Amino acid sequence: MKIAICPGSFDPVTLGHMDIINRARKLFDRLIVAVLVNPAKHTAFTLEERIDLLKRCTQSMKDVEVVGFDGLLADYAKIRGACAIVKGLRAMSDFEYEFQMSLVNKKLNPELETVFLNTTSENMFLSSSAVKQVASFGGDISNFVPACILDDIERRLWLCKVNMKD
């Protein structure tokens, strides 16, 4: 069985993320979506909330498992028996960072490959940061995030904006 890991912060999950997840599912028997804890990032959603949002978005995908993860991705891949990491790329700047990380992971786990999937043109501009910014100003993010979690994201991000004014 070919297992891959699709890691990210998913804060929040976007239609771009979902596109990469759906396309990666076609390449592997099992896909583990690993929601990472990154101490360098301040997240709008807790780890548990991000996992819940992703589980709701992938509930019909029996070949997808959503997990929380904290540690070295290369070690986690070895523990889970994964042969590949799947990363989505939007721009050349994404590639530079992800290419460097793929070399580090390969050094730490020589059996691990990194597969890069280019974003579709309609998602090229889309990022969690852009979603957070638009939503915090009350903008329409319905074309950016899965419909099943839209209300949760709008409620949280608008509430964060309101609380910041107090």
The residues carrying an active-site annotation are: 17, 41, 90, 128
3-state secondary structure the chain: CCEEEEEECCCCCCHHHHHHHHHHHCCCCEEEEEEECCCCCCCCCCHHHHHHHHHHHCCCCCCEEEEEECCCHHHHHHHHCCCEEEEEECCHHHHHHHHHHHHHHHHHCCCCEEEEEECCHHHCCCCHHHHHHHHHCCCCCCCCCCHHHHHHHHHHHHHHHHHHHC
